[in-house]
Amino acid sequence: MTIWWVVLGCILTTAVIKAAGPVALGGRELPPWFRALVASAAPALLAALVAVAVLSDGQRWSAGADTVGVAAAGLVLWRRGSLVGAVVVAVAVTAGIRLLT
């Protein structure tokens, strides 16, 4: 039964954290510099998550077939390719390298 108290505590903590911003700011307009900071935070966090997922195996930093596949997809997107094309290239490159090694 203790685990359910922990789950309930996590739910309440999350709700309080999410409600703190709107309660504190009310209907006020945020300064432009802060809006720019918030807008740039999401892509930066996503890039960090992708980098950790691609460059680690869960225990240590490593580069493998998936790293090369993501790099190939990045090149396709950089050269103005489609997202579907980038995914296909990433899968093909990763599978090809894993097949060869």
DSSP of 24-42: HHTTPPPPHHHHHHHHHHH
Q: Is the pLDDT of residue 45 over 80?
A: yes
Please give the pLDDT value at position 97: 93
Q: Examine residue 79 and state whether it is found in any structural domain, yes or no.
A: yes
**Longest CA–CA separation in the chain, Å:** 59
Does 31 fall in a domain?
no
Q: Indicate whether 41 belongs to any domain.
A: no
Residue 58 included in any domain: no
Residue 49 lies in a domain: no
* CB 79 within 8 Å of CB 101: no
Per the domain annotation, does 100 fall within a domain?
yes
Amino acid letter, 57: D
pLDDT score at 7: 95
Q: Is residue 4 part of a domain?
A: no
Q: What is the domain range of residue 69?
A: 63-101
Residue type, 68: V
- In a domain? residue 70: yes
Q: Residue 56: beta bridge partners?
A: 61
Q: What is the count of structural domains for the chain?
A: 1
